Amino acid sequence: MKFIDPPVRKRSSRQHWIDMVQELKANPGRFGYVGTYSTGVGTHIRQGIYKAFYPDDEKDPIGYIASHWEIVTRRSKDGKHIDIYIKWIGEDLGR
| Tens digits of residue pLDDT in 43-85 | 999 999 999 999 999 999 999 999 999 999 999 999 999 999 9
HSE, side-chain direction, 13 A CA sphere, residue 50: 22
Task: Flag whether pLDDT at 26 surpasses 90.
Answer: yes
Band of pLDDT at residue 91, cut at 50, 70 and 90: confident
Determine the pLDDT at residue 93.
45
Q: In what order do the strands lie in the sheet with 32-37?
A: 32-37, 82-88, 69-75
> Is residue 12 scored above 80 in pLDDT?
no
Are β-strands 32-37 and 82-88 bridged in parallel, bridged antiparallel, or unpaired?
antiparallel
- pLDDT over 60 at 42, yes or no: yes
Structural domain boundaries in the chain: 29-93
